[in-house]
Structure 1
Amino acid sequence: MPNKLEAVIFDWAGTIVDFGSFAPTQIFVDAFAQAYGFALSLEEARRPMGLGKWQHIEALGQDPDVAARWTRQFGRAMSQEDVRHLYDTFIPLQVERVGAHSGLVPGALAVVQALRVQGFKIGSTTGYPRQVMEKLMVLASEKGYAPDCTVCADDLAAGARPGPWMALACVQNLQIGSVAHCVKVDDTVPGIAEGINAGMWTVGLALSGSPAGLTLAEYEQADEATLQAVRDRVAPLFVAAGAHFVIDTVADLPAVLRTIEQRLASGQRP
């Protein structure tokens, strides 16, 4: 097959919608408070971002800071029954509130529209379960964004990130000829690992996602020194995870795709 890109596979929150990825992180804080009266900070809630939500709660239970406070408060470690109760509390809250954080990241729609004109297929993967995505996909479609396929964290028996399975399901659904002809774009380290493990080119987003933690207003009002400080903090996380490129937001993707196509034409692979 010709050495040409065929598809871009996007994450959702923090990548295409919900600048700063605030919907899931704030609701983790609220779910812990509602279910157990436990004080989880927003910074702690962000640490496992990119995982499936069940795995995210498990990871929080193993976080040294969270685990220590949990043990002090309850006299025991977090159990699978606790994880289930937290998950069952989280999901209705997420479904209820996901619409409040469904706005598209600036530039995202224009990039996707340009990709379609160029013949790209558009895939997507997410740490959200299907129940949440059923609502979010409708809201995003009303704003003009409707990828060719969406694979959710609870769709596959094999599991979700950081494994390759959701990204590879997109390859199958989109009928892509080679994983080397795919680009995975994500704002989290597990999402980058997903793309790496699937054999794809990967692009990390330094300013629009969960690690940056900026609201859209904060991003738009920040001076260059402030934004550079965030880049300096976040970009190394993606580089360490193996990201081939790190950019500010999805609006900066076209130039990277041109570079990748040049590399493919010269025989390079991810």
Structure 2
Amino acid sequence: MSTTSSTSSTLAPLQAVIFDWAGTLVDFGSLAPTQIFVEAFATFGIDITLAQARGPMGLSKWDHIHQLLQDESIAAQWRRRFGAAPGAADVDAIYARFMPMQIAKVGEFSAPIEGAVQTLQWLRDQGLKVGSCSGYPREVLDQLLPQAAAAGIAPDHVVAGDELRAGGRPGPFMALANVLALGIGDVRACVKVDDTVPGIEEGLRAGMWTVGVSLSGNEVGYSLAELAQASPQEIEARVARAEAKLRKAGAHHVVRSVAELPEVLRQIALQAGHGRPDAGCQMPPGCPCP
């Protein structure tokens, strides 16, 4: 990763980068929430796969559970076991089981993704503010944040998935709460970085530039051990599928991990002078925009 100082490059007019947490800054593969969803449902006698658990990733955890219960195969299991379709009270019950399990386990997945510490420092060297938001509830973040900070991941602001009355992703509210807290004067000067479709939609709805994260995130879903054992062909196939999904969701750029973010931010800074993120580049041929 390049660490060119702000004396030789500039990211103007950008003012802030707002990051997701699991799969983006920490927890390579976004393993903590997925495994706990599987375990929480199992305590009710319901079997879900890791792939199913990953499907709604990026939503607040209550909404995530609710979405999983809309899956026909999961709902059918629930009806067979309990004699009725799952409802809001059932979401509450699973959430109540999920929360202490997630709180107990999240610290085990607090390690920074390679390059994340250096990227945050680089952003600060460039004069940008660093925000963040998560689908994790505040109780979970309260366990994660001190351990992440000790390892070098300490954004200027953090918004939890359960603390805004307006709601969480895919709405723009957590991203906009960062804008207010950080004192950013223009949402178009912000970049949202996330490994999930709801997180990309959040940034777009907030009027921000968006960068998807493929290899380290939920859409690829490797642990570091699995990544080390996978063939190059399998890795590239998964990355290609993840990138296509994130771009289809509207991501302006996709990186394999936040270690690649500096170069993309330089491109966005050039694009940002040409108009709104959702307007597209209208410059003539030869423009550095993709």
- Both structures adopt the same fold (TM-score exceeding 0.5): yes
1:178 paired residue number: 186
Residue of 244, 248, 253 corresponding to 1:240: 248
For 2:51, give the aligned amino acid.
Answer: E
Q: Distance in 2 between matches of 1:122 and 1:23?
A: 23
Q: Distance in 2 between matches of 1:268 and 1:57?
A: 35
What is the deviation of 1:225? 1.9
- TM-score, normalised relative to structure 1: 0.96
2:286 paired residue number: none
What is the deviation of 1:218? 2.5
Structure 1 segment 92-241 matched on structure 2, within 5 A: 92-241=100-249
Residue 62 of structure 1 aligns to a residue whose secondary structure is coil
Aligned residues: 268
What is the deviation of 1:216? 1.4
Larger Rg computed on CA atoms = 2
What is the deviation of 1:73? 2.5
- Please say if 1:23 is aligned against 2:17: no
Residue 234 of structure 2 aligns to a residue whose secondary structure is helix
Q: Which segment is superposed worse, 202-211 or 60-69?
A: 60-69
What is the root-mean-square deviation of aligned Cα atoms in Å? 1.4
1:7 paired residue number: 16
1:71 paired residue number: 79
What is the deviation of 1:264? 1.5
What is the deviation of 1:221? 4.6
Q: Distance in 1 between matches of 2:20 and 2:178?
A: 12
Q: Tell me, which stretches of 5 or more residues in structure 1 are unaligned?
A: none
For 2:273, give the aligned amino acid.
Answer: A
1:58 paired residue number: 66
Residue 122 of structure 1 aligns to a residue whose secondary structure is strand
What is the deviation of 1:145? 1.1
Do the aligned partners of residues 76 and 223 (structure 1) sit closer, same or farther apart at CA in structure 2, a change above 3 Å counting?
same
Q: Distance in 2 between matches of 1:83 and 1:138?
A: 29
Do the aligned partners of residues 221 and 253 (structure 1) sit closer, same or farther apart at CA in structure 2, a change above 3 Å counting?
farther
Q: Distance in 2 between matches of 1:267 and 1:41?
A: 43
1:40 paired residue number: 48
2:93 paired residue number: 85
Q: Tell me, which stretches of 5 or more residues in structure 2 are unaligned?
A: 1-10, 279-290
Residue 158 of structure 2 aligns to a residue whose secondary structure is strand
- TM-score, normalised relative to structure 2: 0.89
Residue 15 of structure 1 aligns to a residue whose secondary structure is coil
- Seq. identity, %: 52
What is the deviation of 1:168? 0.2
Greater per-residue helix proportion = 1
What is the deviation of 1:220? 4.1
For 1:139, give the aligned amino acid.
Answer: Q
Q: Distance in 1 between matches of 2:92 and 2:276?
A: 45
Q: Distance in 2 between matches of 1:150 and 1:163?
A: 16
What is the deviation of 1:182? 0.4
